[in-house]
Homo-oligomer: A and B are copies of this chain.
Amino acid sequence: MQEVDRLIASRSLAEGARLPSIRQAAARFGVSKSTVVLAYDRLASEGVITPRRGAGFFVSSTNTPLRVSEVEPRVDRAVDPLWVSRQALETPGDAFRPGCGWLPAEWLPDGEIRRALRRLARTGDERLVEYGQPTGPRDLRLQLARRLSASGVGCEADQVLVTASATQAMDLVLRLLLSPGDRVLVDDPCFFNFLALLRAHRVEVIGLPMTSEGPDIAALEAALRQHQPKVYITTAGPQNPTGATLSLARAHRILKLAEQHELTIVEDDVFADFEDRPSPRLAALDGLERVIQIGSLSKTLSAAVRCGYVAVRRDWVDPLIDLTIATSYGSGRLSADLVLHVLQDPAYRRHLGTLRQRLAEARMRLGSELCEARVRLFHQPVSGMFLWGELPDDRDATAIARQALEQKVVLAPGNVFSTSQGARGYMRFNVAQCRSREDLARLRMLLGH
């Protein structure tokens, strides 16, 4: 194949030229005839050469030069809510990413996924090639409903829709609930992609200051009176980025205010499996009346297999199915089947136990390291992978992140999380991405210590 590619590239074989016969090529390249057959077949399926019945193979007429620019972090890009995602996803594999929002590959259950792939390869035909139910497969919905029930969110399986990701689930829900110009509440700081998504929805965003026990209730009340927002997007379990956990008392007050002001709450529960004991869920207290819960398995199972879900009250299921079909023609049956196999694998539960233990250790280690670097932690989280801290000496986190990027280090500067842009000195740290002594030393150096 390489030889033919080379001959075409060097114009020794011009467009439309006939390739050597199988026999000639075997002799010329010193390989067996069956090897040539395979190579020609593959080149034909790539469109490089074209077979003509009885006449042999010919160089295709449209071999335009093809290239993919080597992807490099764009150092000049504006530090907006998409900055961390773009940099973390686009920097090469060997980059150091204390700012990214996921676990390192070696912490994730690739053995279970391999087993699930082999199991899928033995599955009945139509599951591999046909569209599935637009709701997602029945068995996975049951499994997800059981998981939700285990975290206190009593819901039945037909209130659960499988989506391609938590992000897609959120997008669908916002499409259902919002019109351009509507007002939406978020926590300040919050997961930056909420801000990027809301921008795509052309809505007005109002931030609620975060405390270590959840959003500021007085600010919530004032915002409800002043802005009449339709939706409040918040996080269950360890909040991203602060690691804060909602207190039960605060959860009650939020729900009471939501009822008074006819506010719908979208609760993002992607970090569910990071908690040893589930903290209060708004969806659990409310019973999915005015709370919608979304989640995914990207954080603990795999980010390569796209699979999320949304749990809603019954009368919103049907319009969400319509929106799913209109905008993506269904969730992926194969990914959903794969996720189901992994969730059913007892090894996966053990993986979660190990994961939580490793995270606890990593939080301790990085916490004390940051303390020595005079970073003031917002709060000491009891679960999750994030620490949120203020840099010493009034340092500008955005400037530091920009400099770090030139050394292929992806940091998460505070203001990308903040609607008020009041987190200039803050940074989010991923404890699972800073493990070795070298990592920790490098991070301290970048922070100017």
Contact = CB atoms under 8 A, between A and B. Distances in A.
Interface stretch (A101-109, A364-372, A408-416, A425-433): A101-109
Contacts of A93: 126
Contact of A329 (B48, B109, B167): B167
A326 B200 contact: yes
Identical chains bound together, number: 2
15 contacts: A38-B346, A46-B343, A68-B142, A85-B134, A86-B321, A89-B131, A105-B129, A113-B128, A117-B120, A131-B304, A132-B304, A197-B326, A199-B326, A304-B333, A334-B335
Enumerate the 3 nearest inter-chain pairs by beta-carbon distance, A residue then B residue, closest first: A41-B346, A47-B150, A105-B126
A196 B133 CA distance: 18
Interface in A113-136: 113-114, 117-118, 120-122, 125-135
Interface stretch (A18-26, A156-164, A234-242, A399-407): A156-164
Interface stretch (A56-64, A208-216, A251-259, A388-396): A56-64
A13 B303 CA distance: 38
A65 interface: yes
Contacts of A149: 47, 60, 62-64, 66
Contacts of A121: 114, 117-118, 121
Contact of A332 (B154, B332, B333): B332
A202 to B, nearest CB: 8
A260 interface: no
Contact of A133 (B48, B71, B110): B71
B196 A326 contact: yes
Contact of A325 (B82, B155, B158, B305): B82
B305 A334 contact: yes
A53 B142 CA distance: 27
Contacts of A322: 82, 86, 196
Interface residues of A, number: 105
Contacts of A120: 117
A206 interface: no
Contacts of A108: 129-130
A147 interface: yes
Contact of A42 (B47, B85, B346): B346
Given A108-B129, A114-B121, 14 more contacts: A45-B349, A66-B146, A67-B157, A68-B156, A102-B131, A114-B122, A164-B332, A167-B326, A175-B200, A196-B322, A200-B323, A305-B334, A306-B306, A332-B332
A110 B89 contact: no
A133 B303 CA distance: 12
Interface in A420-446: none
B164 A306 contact: yes
B86 A110 contact: no
A141 interface: yes
B131 A66 contact: no
A45 B175 contact: no
A325 to B, nearest CB: 5
Given A63-B149, A303-B129, A306-B164, A327 B171 contact: yes
Given A38-B346, A62-B149, A129 B156 contact: no
A274 interface: no
B326 A142 contact: no
Contacts of A47: 146-147, 149-150
Contacts of A179: 202
Nearest to A305: B334
